[in-house]
Amino acid sequence: MEALTEAEARYLERVVEDCSELLGPGVDVDDVAVLEDFGVVLRLSYHLGGVSWSSEGRGATVTAAHADLRQRLVLDRLRMATVAIYRSAK
């Protein structure tokens, strides 16, 4: 992928802030990557305690990929929390 423009970099900062709010307290975002693979893929890596996770959003544009990522984060957050609870009970 080509280098990001300043505006794109600022937008990605906002994506990280938005996703952090959506994921909730205790979840730390580690990285966001932009990939081009038959469209745009936003890959967000994050963790809750010792459980690391990543989610991807896909779309024709970064904005569309962000919207898709937000939807996937809701379900992935529930999955990640379930794994964290299970591991802490061992």
Q: In which order are the strands placed within the sheet that holds 27-36? A: 27-36, 40-48, 51-59
* pLDDT over 70 (residue 84): yes
Domain formed by 6-89, architecture: 2-Layer Sandwich (3.30)
Tokens representing 14? 């906002």
The full set of domain ranges for the chain reads: 6-89
In sequence order, which ranges of 1-61 are alpha helices (DSSP H)?
Answer: 6-23
* pLDDT over 90 (residue 54): yes
| Stated pTM of the model | 0.82
